[in-house]
């Protein structure tokens, strides 16, 4: 009697996952773990170079195959692999490889992992730049946090990035969305069918041990990959405005800033006399988070949901953030710390949390409650698998109903295909040319 066919999944990564460097890397590993728990055969491919902190996927039983952009070798590779599901890690990978997947494996379910809406993040970054040009006030950024989703849509709608990103969502059979706010934006304002989207937040197991006590903790902490623009901006706001306000109230306070890929411009901000310590990369982010008393995430722009804040809740570390930092993370549930709109209120809230044990313990408990209600793998992992299986079973009707996606694939993939073939021919000509 023949064995049942094991589902084969190909993940095409924008980068090789680095779960200890970014929330996006952590989320990808959580998705891969959900696949492995089903006994699915997983292959991970990427055209990117190997990063310093990449995960060892082979140790988990995942096959690693590097691929190249604009190279027909991918066609042979995917034809031989014949995956049942292809997951594109961010829309740029769908742009590059989507037409090849459709041509050589038309029956494979095509899924997009958006990570966060890059076009939303970039539009918000532009709004911050405009605000900084218009005013030197470093305290009050309330207007950045006030726009309704309709205003966000109007900011994004005419940008090339939004048109590319949302076209990729249409071209896929299903897109994974990490934030419910972004789902609402896409459905209510960009008018995407809800049936093309699936909410898939960060998935973390609840801690099994008691958190480090209040008395055994010290210092403030900020953590985040320096290559991620919102994190670098947060460090600048801390340095120029928020941290001096905290030091006025707590002259001996220390802030420890950790992040992967620390650039010289960040290292240059280190000033031990001011208690401002740039610590580079943390080998164990949860360990340093557990040793700190308050996590600070002063994000003035961004999108998605924030891995550093989930890590803080896991470690029982209350946090202070902005409406951008808290977006999509708690709905109507109490926030495990404080959500603020100005540098002054941020500093005051951080100092109060640092000193007030009763308030600190209450925030800590709220963090654990939030993890239990919204981020458990035993809920979201099976939900993801069930949605993928449903899409595979109803693939023909899903594609028939998604006429806009079919139309976009017809036009976009033709132009992308011809451009890729032209680049490949040009590269081959260079290689064959006499030296």
Distance CA 363, CA 316 (A): 8
Distance CA 133, CA 117 (A): 25
pLDDT digits (tens, 9 = 90+) for 97-132: 999 999 999 999 999 999 899 999 999 999 999 999
For residue 283, pLDDT beyond 70: yes
pLDDT digits (tens, 9 = 90+) for 62-106: 999 999 999 999 999 999 999 999 999 999 999 999 999 999 999
Which residues make Cβ contacts (< 8 Å) with residue 330, sequence separation at least 6? 370, 374
pLDDT digits (tens, 9 = 90+) for 135-155: 989 999 999 997 899 999 999
**Percentage of residues in the chain having pLDDT higher than 90:** 85
Q: What is the mean pLDDT of residues 412-429?
A: 65
Distance CA 335, CA 306 (A): 14
pLDDT digits (tens, 9 = 90+) for 183-201: 999 999 999 999 999 999 9
Q: What is the mean pLDDT of residues 3-21?
A: 89
Q: What is the mean pLDDT of residues 396-420?
A: 82
**Burial of residue 236 (number of CB atoms within 10 Å: 0-12, 13-18, 19+):** middle
For residue 3, pLDDT beyond 60: no
Mean pLDDT of the chain: 93
Distance CA 350, CA 243 (A): 10
3-state percent breakdown (helix, strand, coil) of the chain, nearest 5 = 55, 15, 35
pLDDT of residue 428: 65
- Count of H-run helices and E-run strands, the chain: 19, 13
Provide the β-strand partners of residue 112: 88, 175
> Do the Cβ atoms of 233 and 301 come closer than 8 Å?
yes
pLDDT of residue 282: 85
Distance CA 246, CA 236 (A): 15
Q: Domains (ranges, CATH) in the chain?
A: 8-119+149-203+378-432 (3.40.50.2000), 214-375 (3.40.50.2000)
pLDDT digits (tens, 9 = 90+) for 166-177: 999 999 999 999
pLDDT digits (tens, 9 = 90+) for 314-331: 999 999 999 999 999 998
pLDDT of residue 324: 96
Poorest-confidence range of 207-211, 332-336, 417-421?
417-421
pLDDT digits (tens, 9 = 90+) for 354-384: 999 999 999 999 999 999 999 999 999 999 9
């Amino acid at each position: 009697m023949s064995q049942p066919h094991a589902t084969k999944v190909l993940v095409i990564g924008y980068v090789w996952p680095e779960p200890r460097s970014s929330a996006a890397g952590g989320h990808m590993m959580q998705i891969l773990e959900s696949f492995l728990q089903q006994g699915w055969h997983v292959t991970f491919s990427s055209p990117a170079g190997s990063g310093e902190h990449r995960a060892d996927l082979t140790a988990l039983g995942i096959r690693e195959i590097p691929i190249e952009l604009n190279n027909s070798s991918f066609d042979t590779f995917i034809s031989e692999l014949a995956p049942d599901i292809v997951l594109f890690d961010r829309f740029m990978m769908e742009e590059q490889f989507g037409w090849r997947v459709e041509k050589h494996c038309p029956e494979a379910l095509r899924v997009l992992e958006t990570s966060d809406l890059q076009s939303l993040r970039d539009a918000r970054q532009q709004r911050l730049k405009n605000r900084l040009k218009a005013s030197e006030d470093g305290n009050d950024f309330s207007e950045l946090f006030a726009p309704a989703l309709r205003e966000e849509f109007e900011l994004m709608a005419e940008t090339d990035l939004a048109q590319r990103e949302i076209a990729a969502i249409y071209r896929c059979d299903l897109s994974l969305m990490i934030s419910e706010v972004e789902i609402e934006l896409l459905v209510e304002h960009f008018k995407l069918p809800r049936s093309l989207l699936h909410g898939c937040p960060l998935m973390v197991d609840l801690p099994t041990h008691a958190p480090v006590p209040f008395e055994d903790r010290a210092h403030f902490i900020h953590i985040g990959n320096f290559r991620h623009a919102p994190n670098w901006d947060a460090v600048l706001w801390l340095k120029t405005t928020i941290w001096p306000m905290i030091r006025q109230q707590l002259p001996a306070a220390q802030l420890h800033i950790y992040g992967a890929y620390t650039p010289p411009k960040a290292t240059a901000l280190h000033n031990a006399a001011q208690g401002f310590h740039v610590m580079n990369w943390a080998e164990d982010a949860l360990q340093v988070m557990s040793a700190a008393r308050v996590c600070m995430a002063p994000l003035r722009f961004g999108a998605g949901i924030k891995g550093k804040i989930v890590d803080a809740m896991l470690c029982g570390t209350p946090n202070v953030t902005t409406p951008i930092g808290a977006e999509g993370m708690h709905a109507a549930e109490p926030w495990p710390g404080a959500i603020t709109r100005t540098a002054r209120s941020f500093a005051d809230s951080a100092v109060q949390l640092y000193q007030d044990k009763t308030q600190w313990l209450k925030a800590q408990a709220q963090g654990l409650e939030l993890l239990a209600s919204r981020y458990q793998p035993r809920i979201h992992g099976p939900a993801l698998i069930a949605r993928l299986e449903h899409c595979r079973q109803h693939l023909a009707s899903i594609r028939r109903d998604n006429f806009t996606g079919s139309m976009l694939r017809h036009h976009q993939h033709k132009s992308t295909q011809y451009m890729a073939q032209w680049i490949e021919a040009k590269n081959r000509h260079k290689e064959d040319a006499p030296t």
